[in-house]
Structure 1
Amino acid sequence: MTDTEKAYLQSIGRNISTIRRQKNLSQLDVCAIIEMEKPNLSAIENGRQNVTALTLKKIADAIEVKVADFFIFKA
């Protein structure tokens, strides 16, 4: 994986984490809703795991946002 690809995954993960925390949801809350193990969500939020489109949809539904919100660049 290139540095650019890693940075892209990290950006998406940061956005997921930020939005989740803004909604006052813990990782465990989201995991319970989407039936995912916490280490997997943690890996996604930290940019260590390449997340599928379906998983992004599940996470977005759980925290009541659009998938597109995860792709908004935030400096």
Structure 2
Amino acid sequence: MTDTEKTYLYSIGRNIAKLRRQNKFSQLDVCAEIKMEKSNLSAIENGRQNASILTLKRIADAIGVEVQVFFDL
């Protein structure tokens, strides 16, 4: 993975974390809703894991946003 790709994943993850917090959800809240381990969500939010589009859709639905806002860099 290139540095540019790592930066991109990190930016998306930070957006997910920011939106999750703005909507008053903890990582545990989201994980319980979408049946995901907290460590996986943490890895996505910190740019260490490349999430599938379906996972991003599940996260977006759980926190009440549209998927595309994750990509607002």
Q: Normalising to structure 1: TM-score of the pair?
A: 0.96
Whole-angstrom distance in 2 between the partners of 1:5 and 1:66: 22
Whole-angstrom distance in 1 between the partners of 2:22 and 2:60: 13
Give 1:1-75 correspondences, 5 Å limit: 1-73=1-73
CA shift, 1:55, in A, is 0.1
2:57 aligned partner, one-letter code: K
2:43 aligned partner, one-letter code: A
- Alpha-carbon RMSD across the aligned residues, in angstroms, is 0.3
Q: Which consecutive segments of 4 or more residues in structure 1 shift more than 3 A?
A: none
Instruction: Show CA shifts across 1:1-23 (max 9, x none).
Output: 10000000000000000000001
2:49 aligned partner, one-letter code: Q
1:59 aligned partner, one-letter code: I
CA shift, 1:26, in A, is 0.3
Question: For structure 2, which runs of at least 5 residues remain unmatched after alignment?
Answer: none
Identity, in percent, stands at: 71
Q: Normalising to structure 2: TM-score of the pair?
A: 0.99
Number of residue equivalences: 73
Question: For structure 1, which runs of at least 5 residues remain unmatched after alignment?
Answer: none
